[in-house]
Structure 1
Amino acid sequence: MNVSSLDISILVIYILACLSLGLYLSRKEGAEGYFVNNRKTKPLFLIFTALSTSVGAGTVLGVASASFQTGISFGVLFMIASGLGWTLMGYLAPRIKKFGDEQRAYTFGDYLFHQYSDRTRKIGRLVVLIAYFFATGIQFVAFAQLINVTTNLSFTPALLIVALVTVIYTVAAGVRGDFYTDALQFFVMFPVFIFLFIKGFSLVGIQELFILPDGFLSLYNYSGPIFFWAGVLFGFPLILTSVDAWQRIFAAVDERTAKIAFYFSGVLKVGVIGASIFIGLLAYHIVPQADSDGAMFALMAEILPSGLLGLGLASVLAIIMSTVDTGIMVGSATITKDFFLAKHPNVSEKEILKVGRISASLFGLVGLALAYFVQDIVTLAIVSVQVLLIFAPALLGGLVWKVKNEKSAYWSILLGFLVTLIILPINVNLAFIPGLLVAIIVYIVPIFRERRLARV
């Protein structure tokens, strides 16, 4: 990629600005501010951060890559599941916010403990850490690819630069800094997306855009009909199983704010996924020789002029940074609250903050190691999603039907997780189907048995 010194300068300035903001906001930070922004986040900030965090490399780069490679299938599935899921989350947000305020919660591990038991939280925290290692790895890989295509650095040194920037920034800033930079990143992303479309469609007309290979307009081209319909049926609770979504709700100023923010963010999320499909198809026509994972970067380099290309690359960087810092914060909050505070409940706020920052550093480094060994963005995204989905029965049962059956929740999460892990090496795209089916069956059978015995 031919990137001018002006474009690289814009990228470097953006990185330094985010680092500076993170360090500035870290001054006099307390534990509540570090993990949940003192539970005072207003509607616009909440919309910006919920959307920016959700729209990471797995969404924009992953959907664009899949569309470039196989057409609309993966993106349409993601749009339908996201629309249903964010609507569900908006409906449940007031209940989650109420619980968070009453229990001073940081993660949904706190909910598993309160609704079910300590051992349910213990297995839950293990699953969360594994899932978010993969989710963080996605962002590191995407960030390293961005540096690679702009500077011609090989993947390994690019990855090390990524780790240094993101870990330092996140450890310093916490969730409060995450929220402020998410707002900045929101406004960096959208103007560039708009220009990319204007320029792209001036080169490729609407009719020409849909002149594609056989199967590209099929809903089943990505991985067949089973994957598509199972993804729609089982994938919509995904946002409910995202620890970062719970953190955002806990951080809201009140229940109404949480509800409105998630409804609005859901509409915008569906729009971004749709835009990512078009970006992938535009890249297929304009830069057909590009590597699928780098299709969006190649498209930018081809059609954006110098200066605007720098802003375009900064927008991709914004997408990545807004998600990677959240992934690290989820890992930090899980380790701090569900491991450390579970054993040391009476430590000072200063000690909590110290453990949180150390945990963020360690979590970021482990995510870095994973990204080094698994460099496929789509695979990393699918694995992280599938591992989290097994929480859906226990969370829906507790929030919607007020179920408090401890054995159901514990064994549902444990066995669903194990089945998913066993199937992943065999079929990475379809492992979530048997895993989630086992989680559902194991969750509901003891409940029906207890109710039948109660009638007798």
Structure 2
Amino acid sequence: MEISSGNIFLIAFYFIVIFAIGFWVKKKESVREYLNADRKIGLLQTTASISAVMGGMILVAQATLGFQMGIAAAWYFIGIAIGMTFIGVCAKKMKKITEEKNLLTLADYFKEKLDHKNKILSAIIIFIALFALLVGQFIAAGSLFSPLLGIHYAYAVLLTMAGVLAYLVLGGFKAVVKTDVLQFLIMAVVFGSILFVIDIGEYTPSQISITSIGGSYIFSFLIIGAFAMISGADIWQRVFAAKNAKTARNASFLSAGIFLLFGIVITVIGMAAKNHFPDIKPEEALYHGLFQLIPLPLVGIAVVFVLAAIMSTIDTELFYLSSSLSKDFLKKETTLPEEKLAKNIQKYILVLACVSAVTAIVFSNILTILFGIVSLSLAISPVLGASFIWKIKNNAAFLSMLAGLLSLVLLTVTGNFNADNSILPLPTAIIFLIIGQIIFRKNKSK
């Protein structure tokens, strides 16, 4: 479909605004604000920044599931809400540690609670998962904007990359938070109004049954959604940057409800696409459900909404990955001055943006990437979650994460990895964590 010149102007205006935010932040911010917003972001900003992490890949994937499963696909977002609630409960403990030890990444936490080898292993797992998520966002951008703007897929990917770099390199994490607020407000307005303007069609009984997918799928969605949040390094980065523990806790609780509402709306979009375009590929549900079923004058707003969702995740992953490369893989006792750290992050942002965009141009199976990310996240979730409750042995933690990672590798190299068994790293990691705790219990140093 073609969009009007007015809608194209709206999209261009959005790019100008986010660049202006990056430029404005750059003129006023300190090095510490570039790195972590000086750990002073308030409740609205923290909530908006957490909620805006939901990117284009989740939009595409959830609409696909809504197309295939109906409203029952929303169980995944119920799991996400449970995970965010757990983060809120644990926010006070996490904030105390991050402020005392000046932690920047989730891998820093693993080093503080465990040891250096656990930091490195967790950093590797998190890096791979977030890089895959980053690639997935670029794939979503190219797939959606190429037909809308009438440009080649590769150009749509590169345009998105340029838009993010325009403000991220300038303003760092503070620019991420500021643009997240804008992007969240856009997403909230669209989600709040879309059910009133979209042509939904007539549902079948199975589409509106919350239990139509069966108990096993419901359980899997709850577990995957919850643990994906608990191990979300990008989510915890917002907790680190909140101005205090109360802000981090309340923002997490609020985000739980927001995620659930967003998830229901995305699922309904997929269901509407099923009712009107039953013969399309499920992966095209978001495009047809969102852009074909709303009034033409609103298409530009919908495009900006998807841009906001995608770019708010791309900037987050780029900044976290660049921070990880600059900090997590240093020698055990090595520290960098904040000015040097900020410059390294800027450099890695540019490199990772180019590498991930090129990867997205070459590979484009978004659902496989999504389930791979989930599997990687599940490999570290048991250790992270248990660390808030029990004293975890260092070697037991390492064994658990390594076993979870190797189970995913084994599935992949044998050609058996799919959506149904993507949950395998979770029970594997839990079992080996228990085994490790038993084996190493006699040696308190381990």
TM tier relative to shorter chain: over 0.9
Q: Which residue of 1 aligns with 2:126?
A: 128
**CA drift at 1:411:** 1.4
**CA drift at 1:361:** 1.7
Aligned equivalent of 2:394, options 397, 406, 409 = 406
**CA drift at 1:13:** 1.3
Q: Which residue of 2 aligns with 1:423?
A: 411
Report matched runs for 1:346-425 at 5 Å.
347-403=336-392, 405-424=393-412, 425=415
Residues 372-420 of structure 1: per-residue CA shift (max 9 Å, x gap): 23313222222112101111121122211132x1110111111211111
Partners of 2:437 and 2:416 in 1: how far apart?
Answer: 32
Which residue identity lines up with residue 319 of structure 1 in the other structure? A
Aligned equivalent of 1:177, options 175, 178, 184 = 175
Partners of 2:365 and 2:13 in 1: how far apart?
Answer: 28
Report matched runs for 1:2-21 at 5 Å.
2-21=2-21
Partners of 2:333 and 2:29 in 1: how far apart?
Answer: 23
Report sequence identity in percent.
25
**CA drift at 1:163:** 2.2
Report matched runs for 1:270-285 at 5 Å.
270-285=260-275
Residues 149-168 of structure 1: per-residue CA shift (max 9 Å, x gap): 22221212222222222234
Aligned equivalent of 1:112, options 100, 110, 113 = 110
Partners of 1:7 and 1:306 in 2: how far apart?
Answer: 9
Partners of 1:419 and 1:263 in 2: how far apart?
Answer: 33
Deviates more, 1:391-400 or 1:424-433: 424-433
Which residue identity lines up with residue 56 of structure 1 in the other structure? G
Which residue identity lines up with residue 367 of structure 2 in the other structure? V
Distance of aligned partners of 1:204 and 1:258 in 2 relative to their CA distance in 1, 3 Å threshold: closer
Deviates more, 1:245-254 or 1:306-315: 306-315
Give the secondary-structure state (helix, strand or coil) at the position aligned to 1:153: coil
Does the aligned pair in 1 maintain the 2:375–2:424 contact within 8 Å?
Answer: no
Q: Which residue of 2 aligns with 1:94?
A: 92
**CA drift at 1:91:** 0.3
Partners of 2:339 and 2:50 in 1: how far apart?
Answer: 28
Distance of aligned partners of 1:366 and 1:197 in 2 relative to their CA distance in 1, 3 Å threshold: same
**CA drift at 1:325:** 0.7
Distance of aligned partners of 1:116 and 1:156 in 2 relative to their CA distance in 1, 3 Å threshold: same
Which residue identity lines up with residue 148 of structure 1 in the other structure? S
Q: Which residue of 1 aligns with 2:436?
A: 446
Aligned equivalent of 1:261, options 251, 265, 269 = 251
Alignment root-mean-square deviation, CA: 2.3
Partners of 1:88 and 1:33 in 2: how far apart?
Answer: 28
Check if 1:144 corresponds to 2:157: no
Give the secondary-structure state (helix, strand or coil) at the position aligned to 2:52: helix
Unpaired stretches in structure 1, ≥5 consecutive residues:
none
Deviates more, 1:262-271 or 1:144-153: 144-153
**CA drift at 1:4:** 1.0
Distance of aligned partners of 1:427 and 1:228 in 2 relative to their CA distance in 1, 3 Å threshold: farther
Q: Which residue of 1 aligns with 2:203?
A: 209
Does the aligned pair in 1 maintain the 2:71–2:264 contact within 8 Å?
Answer: no
Distance of aligned partners of 1:149 and 1:444 in 2 relative to their CA distance in 1, 3 Å threshold: same
Give the secondary-structure state (helix, strand or coil) at the position aligned to 1:22: helix
**CA drift at 1:447:** 1.6
Does the aligned pair in 2 maintain the 1:237–1:392 contact within 8 Å?
Answer: yes
**CA drift at 1:303:** 3.6
- How many residues align? The count is 442
State TM-score, norm by structure 1: 0.90
Q: Which residue of 2 aligns with 1:60?
A: 59
Q: Which residue of 1 aligns with 2:36?
A: 36
Distance of aligned partners of 1:337 and 1:274 in 2 relative to their CA distance in 1, 3 Å threshold: same
Does the aligned pair in 2 maintain the 1:227–1:429 contact within 8 Å?
Answer: no
Does the aligned pair in 2 maintain the 1:420–1:434 contact within 8 Å?
Answer: yes
Does the aligned pair in 2 maintain the 1:142–1:377 contact within 8 Å?
Answer: yes
**CA drift at 1:130:** 0.5
Report matched runs for 1:283-362 at 5 Å.
283-340=273-330, 344-345=334-335, 347-362=336-351
Partners of 1:144 and 1:433 in 2: how far apart?
Answer: 28
Partners of 1:154 and 1:177 in 2: how far apart?
Answer: 29
Residues 9-50 of structure 1: per-residue CA shift (max 9 Å, x gap): 111211221122123212354443123210001111111111
Partners of 1:272 and 1:423 in 2: how far apart?
Answer: 32
Partners of 1:343 and 1:162 in 2: how far apart?
Answer: 38
Give the secondary-structure state (helix, strand or coil) at the position aligned to 2:104: coil
Partners of 2:416 and 2:266 in 1: how far apart?
Answer: 29
**CA drift at 1:423:** 1.0
Distance of aligned partners of 1:453 and 1:128 in 2 relative to their CA distance in 1, 3 Å threshold: closer
**CA drift at 1:127:** 0.8
Q: Which residue of 2 aligns with 1:249?
A: 239
**CA drift at 1:225:** 5.7
Distance of aligned partners of 1:191 and 1:396 in 2 relative to their CA distance in 1, 3 Å threshold: closer
Which residue identity lines up with residue 176 of structure 1 in the other structure? K
Deviates more, 1:166-175 or 1:244-253: 166-175
Does the aligned pair in 1 maintain the 2:83–2:230 contact within 8 Å?
Answer: yes
Partners of 1:124 and 1:81 in 2: how far apart?
Answer: 23
Partners of 2:440 and 2:157 in 1: how far apart?
Answer: 52
Does the aligned pair in 1 maintain the 2:121–2:398 contact within 8 Å?
Answer: yes
**CA drift at 1:212:** 6.2
Unpaired stretches in structure 2, ≥5 consecutive residues:
none
Residues 43-98 of structure 1: per-residue CA shift (max 9 Å, x gap): 11111111111x2123322211221234344x233123112211111100111111
Deviates more, 1:226-235 or 1:279-288: 226-235
